[in-house]
Structure 1
Amino acid sequence: MAQTPQKTVQENASSLVHDITTDLASSLPPNIPFDKFKSVFITAVLNNPKILSCDPVTVKTALLKCAQDNLLPDGREAAIIPYNNKMKQDDKWVKVVTAQYTPMIQGIRKRAKELGGISEIIAECVHENDDFDYSLGDNPFIQHKPAKLGSKRGDIIGAYAVFKEDDGRVVHRDVMDREAIEKARAVSKNQDGDLWTIWYGEACKKTVVRRGSKSVPSIPDALRDIVTRDDELVDFSLPKSAPRTPDNPLLEQQPVRTGEQAPRQEARQRSAEAAEQNGAGSEVGESGQLPAPANKALMENFSSAMLRLKGDNLVKGRENFWNKNTSVHKPTELEIKLEDEIYKAHVNRDNNKLSVDDLKSHVAELIEEVYGCTSS
């Protein structure tokens, strides 16, 4: 098949940007002119014409996310990566190529400096011929000396991240070996996509930064959102290839589904899937079987966890949260309804029917209404 002429590629890329000019211009910061953003994207498409084979809506969405994060889709700060996906069309699942926006390490480091709080994030891969040592405990340290220039460094055997606050103080170090990194890859829906096959080293760095960020409370919310963007590609239900171990680096701890526990969880999953098809669920699991919040704080944590999720991961994240936070406390009818109302609010937020600020206010009112009248 003949290659797409360069002029046609440029025209098609330019057309995609033109369709969302107003939204892009309002999302970009003053230091990134619209024309520069457009030019960078066209160059990215020329370097990877496969982007034009993606569903146009997903390309536009990816560009808007990139602009909102104040990054350029140049392959260094961020990348638009084609991703083989399935979408429902006319009640049938069909294979489509969608565009996935992926912030890169350089972009994450750039935004860390701009946002403050965390002024520097060091992320590097360790190769088998490097000299590497680290220690935990009261006097943690990381020492890394790459193999001599001109010599082969060998395969990647791990990666590490160091987080520094504005005053230069190291607030956290995280180290992952190759096995832990591959566990993270196993729960990615795009584990054989461009990020993991073409930019494997970048994927390793991003994985350790993402895990390490969980232990750094001083990270600004805007930066945390960028670091966890790839959560949209994490399958929280865990495929068969992913080890169901509590140390999976991209998942919080959850119980292994065995014995009598499995049918109950599978019933909740079927109910959650039905809720997804209807836009929002009316209940989860059997009455009285729902893993219930024992207090106000748990409901607030549930809403915070859902705030980081979008699309299909809302349903999976909901299930995952209650699997981790099962309580012996039997839920009241009000609590069951409250959990469902919070979930519906996040579905509306994901469908752009509710802003984040309005969602937070709405959820706060819901929680206060329930616990205000039940706390006595």
Structure 2
Amino acid sequence: MSDTLKDRVKAAGAAPAEDAPAVVDLALTDQSMQWLQSRATYFTDALPRHVDRVHFMSVARAILPSLSKCSNQSITSALLACARFGLEPDGRQAAVIPYGDTATFQPMYEGYIELMYRHPRVDSVHFGWVREKDAWDYEPTAPSPKDFFHKPRVDLTEEERGPVILAYAFAWIGGSRSQVILLNRRQAEAIRDKYSKAYKKAENNGKKDSPWHTDFDAMWAKSAVRRLVKVVPTSHELALMLQADDDADDSGTAPSVIRGTVVPRDNPGEEQPEPEWPAAAQPGSGSTAHEGGDR
């Protein structure tokens, strides 16, 4: 069974097998915590005002063991990206994924929804899965909101409701409902095959370790929510995150939204360039459209 993105970022917290004693390198863990603490101001200074700094650092500490093989510079860049967008690296809003020795920022669908909520005109954002035995209907020529209907079978378990057949997302904006984004599995696979360089690379090298391989449903959900971005008011920071997400998929490295070079201060006396950040957008920031690919 393949692991999921959440499994990968939280692998260090998994329970050991009963026949294998737990081995913890306390010295390495202590060094990691000291390293993170020494750079705490990098991250906390980049956070938007509404994000709790103590909680963010607590979540960052929890994922450090899973990044033990990654370079300090890539971990710094990935966590800075999380902080810049005000997203926790918890595997739900965002994840920091190890690819060899590189830690990579990966926004998740809940992170996109979080940034949508920060626009003053967006009242609410909804994402859902339609399963095989659910009651649902979509009539694009009907007036909103009568064009879409979904009623899950609450009398059944998820397994009894059958496999997922459709992802959907919509928003309420100033009292009106947006277009409903519908994405079935074949459409998600087409998006993966056309746009994801990380998927193609993982297929070609046989590692099959891209997010599309390890957690297809998470990427399916994110693809639906990304399409919703095109039909709702978007902030400048949301446009930047779309670009950062694309850059990370293209290169498997830190996103280009981090302007400048982040070099770990392992030699305190050495001159180090600082990251140059765009001004941190707060809730209610201005709007701009993102003209990206149809993902």
How far apart are the structure 1 equivalents of 2:40 and 2:275? 21
Aligned-pair CA distance for 1:73: 1.3
How far apart are the structure 1 equivalents of 2:244 and 2:131? 27
1:1-376 to 2 correspondences below 5 Å: 5=24, 7-8=26-27, 10-45=29-64, 49-83=65-99, 96-137=100-141, 139=143, 141-147=147-153, 148-150=155-157, 151-165=159-173, 167-186=174-193, 187-191=195-199, 192-193=208-209, 195-216=211-232, 218-235=233-250
| 1:89-145 deviation line (CA, Å, top 9, x unaligned) | xxxxxxx43212122233333333334232322122233333332122352522222
Indicate conservation of the 8 Å contact 2:134/2:150, yes or no. Answer: yes
Rate the CA distance shift 1:197–1:138 in 2: closer, same or farther, 3 A: same
Aligned-pair CA distance for 1:194: 6.1
Greater CA radius of gyration, 1 or 2? 1
Which structure has the highest helix share of the two?
Answer: 1
How far apart are the structure 2 equivalents of 1:52 and 1:145? 45
How far apart are the structure 2 equivalents of 1:124 and 1:227? 21
Q: Which runs of 5+ in 1 are unaligned?
A: 84-95, 237-308, 312-345, 358-376
For 2:289, the equivalent position in structure 1 comes to none
Query: Aligned with 2:197: secondary structure?
Result: coil
The size of the alignment, in residue pairs, is: 233
Query: Aligned with 1:190: secondary structure?
Result: helix
Q: Which has the higher contact order (CA 8 A, sep 6+)?
A: 2
Aligned-pair CA distance for 1:44: 2.7
Between the aligned residues of both structures, percent identity stands at: 26
Indicate conservation of the 8 Å contact 2:112/2:226, yes or no. Answer: no
- Which TM-score applies when normalising by structure 1? 0.53
Rate the CA distance shift 1:310–1:52 in 2: closer, same or farther, 3 A: closer
Amino acid at match of 1:142: F
How far apart are the structure 1 equivalents of 2:87 and 2:162? 32
Rate the CA distance shift 1:145–1:117 in 2: closer, same or farther, 3 A: same
How far apart are the structure 2 equivalents of 1:349 and 1:233? 14
For 2:10, the equivalent position in structure 1 comes to none
Q: Which moved more, 1:108-117 or 1:74-83?
A: 108-117
For 1:362, the equivalent position in structure 2 comes to none
- Which TM-score applies when normalising by structure 2? 0.66
- Give every structure 1 segment of 4 or more consecutive aligned residues whose post-TM-superposition deviation is greater than 4 Å: 1-4, 348-357
Indicate conservation of the 8 Å contact 1:117/1:219, yes or no. Answer: no
Cα RMSD, aligned residues only: 3.3
